[in-house]
Amino acid sequence: MSVITSPGAPTPAVAAARERSAELEHLVARNPAGYRVLTGDRPTGALHLGHLLGTVANRVRLQNLGVEVFLIVADYQVITDRDDAGDLPATVREVLLDYLAAGVDPARSTVFTHSAVPALNQLLLPFLSLVSVAELERNPTVKAEAEASAAQGRRGTSGLLLTYPVHQAADILFCHGNLVPVGADQLPHLEITRTVARRFNQRYAAARPYFAEPDALVTPSLTVLGDDGVKMSKSRGNALELRASEDQTAAYFKRARTDADRTITYEPERRPEIANLLRIGAHFSGTSPEALADEVGPAGAGRLKALVTEAVVEGLRPLRARRRELASAGPRYVADVLARGNARANEIADRTLDDVRGLMGMRY
Ligand code: ATP
Ligand code: MG
């Protein structure tokens, strides 16, 4: 897999987190059983190429290393910024099919839905008392979401959106997750989780800290752009879904935006759309974007798109075949995977909530 990070100098906090992450990778490789990962997605649509290259492949990698992975399908988070959640059961099923097809193994990883774990959600009440409104308002992701919602004429920030970092703390801490794979832009979120863990321990478990402060694992990953040249995202309608057919894949890359220069060169700053195609193509054909650019050169964007299509179609062939197989196995298989995941998540959450209430002097 090619490893590409975004261009530009990282901030000191990001540089420190990257350094710590490199160290963590060594620790995880030596003792995978000592780590529990919590990560997940909002069920706002089927997963796309950006998800696979940005996070899903990394989760499967961690799982296969022997790390215990918890995958939360964050259904309550869908309504942080929208009134209509759509057909959630259908969307959740699509997301699960994507996970399983990408290599998530339900025998080793726990997949669960947020709303199905009441004790996890109850942790929010004590946790909310541990952070101030000002701390939440300072969170850059909350700020960005609030600005985006205002710019798009949507309703103002909901209380749910404001408290999003605390929900994340509950999601991570209920299962004592100690490793959270994040993009560099999500580091502040994890800071609030660490703060909640620290303050809970100070207030209620000073003698013997109860929650460990989780570590961020900043993994170098690809940010994939959509066919319009903007970050690929479900809600922009610019995404290549993993479940797309080969014809849809070819049509997708055919319409992808490029630029007016004929000769293909890898210049991420000056030619972001071409660079994106080169990174995707290189990723799936096991080469580097530079080498792929040299190979295409004067043949131009048409040739590049043909090569990228071929590489993606070949690269996704096993995933898509497995997805079709799982989808045609009938609704029971996916439903059972989720039921087992929810049962396990509930067992752990009940235990954690019971401990928390005990520590808080609320066991009656
Ligand atoms: P929405 O449009 O509902 O926000 P989305 O497609 O942007 O959906 P998210 O649920 O916001 O997807 O993203 C989940 C995670 O997937 C992100 O934290 C990020 O790590 C990864 N991801 C999403 N889109 C991309 C992308 N284009 N490139 C790389 N990684 C991505
Ligand atoms: Mg998004």
Would the CB of 183 count as within 6 Å of ligand 1? Answer: yes
DSSP secondary structure, 196-265, as one string: HHHHHHHHH-SSS--SPPPEEEE---PPPB-TTSSB--GGGT---BTT--HHHHHHHHHHS---S--S--
What is the Cα–Cα distance from 336 to 57, expressed in whole angstroms? 23
Q: Give the Cβ contact number of residue 33 at 10 Å.
A: 10
C-alpha separations of 68 from 64, 65, 110, 112, 176 in Å = 9, 9, 8, 14, 11
Contact 60, 104 (CB under 8 A): yes
Check residue 6 and give its pLDDT.
46
Q: Which atom of ligand 1 is nearest the CA belonging to 222?
A: 29
Atom of ligand 1 nearest to the CA of 48: 6
Mean pLDDT, range 231-242, rounded to an integer: 94
Q: Is any atom of ligand 1 closer than 6 Å to the C-beta of 36?
A: no
Q: Does residue 102 contact residue 331 with C-beta atoms inside 8 Å?
A: no
Closest alpha carbon to 269 in 2, 6, 3, 4: 6
User: Which atom of ligand 1 sits closest to the CA of residue 42?
Assistant: 10
CA angle 333, 337, 340 (to 5 degrees): 135
Q: Is 59 in the pocket of ligand 1 (CB under 6 A)?
A: no
Nearest ligand by distance to the CA of 186:
1
pLDDT of residue 148: 79
Closest ligand 1 atom to 226 CA: 27
Q: What CATH number has the domain spanning 246-328?
A: 1.10.240.10
- Residue 91 near residue 52 (C-beta atoms within 8 A): no
Q: Quick one: pLDDT band at residue 11, thresholds 50, 70, 90?
A: confident
Alpha carbon distance 46, 54 (integer Å): 15
Nearest protein Cα to ligand 1, atom 22: 51
The pLDDT of residue 184 is above 80: no
How many alpha carbons fall within 13 Å on the CB side of residue 123? 31
User: Per residue in 280-305, pLDDT tens?
Assistant: 999 999 999 999 999 999 999 999 99
Q: How many CB atoms lie within 10 A of CB 284?
A: 21
**Quick one: pLDDT at residue 31?**
97
pLDDT band of 331, cuts 50, 70, 90: confident
Q: Is the CB of 223 under 6 A from ligand 1?
A: yes
| Pick from 243, 264, 271: nearest CA to 306 | 264
CA of 48 to the centre of ligand 1 (A): 9
Give the number of the atom of ligand 1 that is nearest the alpha carbon of residue 182: 20
CA of 82 to the centre of ligand 2 (A): 13
Ligand found nearest the CA of 231? 1
- Ligand with minimal distance to 54 CA: 1
Protein residue whose Cα sits closest to atom 24 of ligand 1:
50
Ligand 2 ion: residues within 5 Å (CB): 233
| DSSP-based three-state secondary structure for 110 | strand
For the chain, which residues make up each domain, given as ranges?
Answer: 12-221+330-360, 246-328
Per-residue burial over 293-325, b if 16 or more Cβ lie within 10 Å, else e, is: bebbeeeebeebbbbbbbbbbebbeebbeebee
Whether residue 10 is predicted with pLDDT greater than 80 in this model: the reply is: no
Query: Token pair 């954690």 is at which residue?
Result: 352
The larger pLDDT score, comparing residue 146 to residue 127, is at 127
* Ligand 1 neighbourhood includes 234 CB (under 6 angstroms): yes
CA of 152 to the centre of ligand 1 (A): 19
| Residue nearest ligand 1's atom 25 by CA | 50
Name the β-bridge partners of 38: 70
Cα–Cα distances in Å, from 155 out to 13, 19, 161, 162, 358? 32, 39, 11, 13, 40
Give counts: helices (H), strands (E), the chain. 17, 5
What distance in Å separates the CA atoms of residue 72 and residue 171, rounded to the nearest whole number? 8
**21-65 per-position pLDDT tens digit:** 999 999 999 999 999 999 999 999 999 999 999 999 999 999 999
- Cβ of 6 less than 6 Å from ligand 1: no
Instruction: Enter the tokens of residue 337.
Output: 């995977």
Say which ligand is closest to the CA of 45: 1
Among 14-18, 85-89, 173-177, 267-271, the minimum mean pLDDT is found in: 14-18
State how far the Cα of 191 lies from the Cα of 333, in Å rounded to an integer: 37
Q: Which CATH superfamily is domain 12-221+330-360 in?
A: HUPs (3.40.50.620)
Evaluate whether 121 touches 352 at the Cβ level (below 8 Å).
no
Give Dmax over CA atoms of the chain in angstroms.
76
Q: Could you tell which of 6, 51, 180 is best to mutate to test the pocket of ligand 1, judged by most ligand atoms within 8 Å of the CB?
A: 51
Alpha helices in 103-186 (DSSP H): 118-122, 124-128, 133-138, 140-151, 159-162, 164-173
CA of 129 to the centre of ligand 1 (A): 30
Give the Å distance between the CA of 109 and the centre of ligand 2.
Answer: 24
Q: How far is the CA of 359 from the centre of ligand 1 (A)?
A: 37
Which one of the ligands is nearest to 240 CA? 1
- pLDDT band at 197; cut points 50, 70, 90: very high
Q: Give CA angle at 135 (131, 140), nearest 5°.
A: 135
User: Does the pLDDT value for residue 92 go beyond 60?
Assistant: yes
> Who has greater pLDDT, 116 or 20?
116
